[in-house]
Structure 1
Amino acid sequence: MNRGLESMGKRFFYAVAVLFCVAATGCATQSSKLTPEERVAALSQKRLDALLAGDLKKAYGFLSPAYRSGVTFSRYSAFVAGVGTWKEAEVKSVNCEEQLCKVAVGLTYKSPMVKEVLTTTLNERWLNIDGKWWYYQK
């Protein structure tokens, strides 16, 4: 009787594993159907959301490997300290050409100088390096 339960447990495990693989493949297939513009828009918004939430470690992870190899997290976090004045940031448009995407971001922020809420457009660049999109930081 114990063998019967063990056999059922193995079958259940395999069934769950197969379902997981099928689901994962479906998600991967769906993700690969996104245009570069759609992928970069989603990545850019995730980076902006991380900055707005003060999650600088997450935002740092969107930077190109070359940038991260030359700029420590500590130095980067000091550089982006001004995002604390940001109120809203939203991807407005994305235009891609081969390995480069240009993103226009609508930004609302509180100016420490004039103590008003202002809006502006930030221009981002995203690079495709070995099939993965990275935020280009000057």
Structure 2
Amino acid sequence: MYMGTRFKLGAVAIAMAILSGCATPVSDSPEAGVMSRAQAWLDALMAFDIEGIYSFTSPGYQSAHSAEYYSRNYAGRNMWKTAGLGEVSCDGAEEFGVCKVRLVITFRGFMMQEDMTTELTETWVNIDGVWYTKPRL
């Protein structure tokens, strides 16, 4: 009987070890982490949510600049028809915590008869495991 109890306890311990591996979160690639944050930021930008986009700036930036100041970087946003994420490049992510995200934007300016498409590149930086947009200065 002692051997049977020991066997059962051992089997339970092995099963728990195997299942705990399933519960361990898979580490996202830098590209996946940035893409997720960049999409949420872009959704807020397209919704004209100034406080929302501002929340993606670093705590250091927020201590020095207001949301209104930051929003000036996107003064032409009202002409944007659509915007989507393009290529995400994280060549320096491991060493420097920096990724570049391309935005593909379709817009129509004042006095324009047709839509135009252009690309903007946004820089994202990793600070203590969180990706933040690096505002243009």
TM-score range, shorter chain: 0.7 to 0.9
Deviation at 1:76, TM superposition (A): 2.4
Within a 5 Å distance, the mapping from 1:16-31 to structure 2 comes to: 26=23, 29-30=25-26
Q: Contact 1:94 / 1:103 at 8 angstroms: preserved in 2?
A: yes
Deviation at 1:65, TM superposition (A): 1.8
Larger mean CA deviation between 68-77 and 41-50 belongs to 68-77
How many angstroms apart in 1 are the aligned matches of 2:51 and 2:113?
A: 28
How many angstroms apart in 2 are the aligned matches of 1:131 and 1:66?
A: 15
Structure 1 partner of 2:98: 100
Deviation at 1:78, TM superposition (A): 4.1
Structure 1 partner of 2:127: 129
Q: Contact 2:70 / 2:135 at 8 angstroms: preserved in 1?
A: no
Deviation at 1:67, TM superposition (A): 1.8
Structure 1 partner of 2:112: 114
Structure 2 partner of 1:51: 45
- Work out the number of aligned pairs and report it: 111
TM-score of the superposed pair, with normalisation by structure 1 = 0.72
Structure 1: segments with no counterpart, 5+ residues: 1-24
Shift of the 79–91 alpha-carbon distance from structure 1 to 2, 3 Å rule, reads closer
Structure 2: segments with no counterpart, 5+ residues: 1-21
Deviation at 1:70, TM superposition (A): 1.4
CA-to-partner distance for each residue in 1:72-112, whole Å, 9 max, x for gaps? 12222344332111111111111112200011111111212
TM-score of the superposed pair, with normalisation by structure 2 = 0.72
Structure 2 partner of 1:84: 78
Task: Determine which structure has more spread, i.e. the larger CA radius of gyration.
Answer: 2
CA-to-partner distance for each residue in 1:25-69, whole Å, 9 max, x for gaps? 95x815xx2211011011111111111111111111001222222
Identity fraction in percent: 38
One of 41, 59, 62 as aligned partner of 1:65: 59
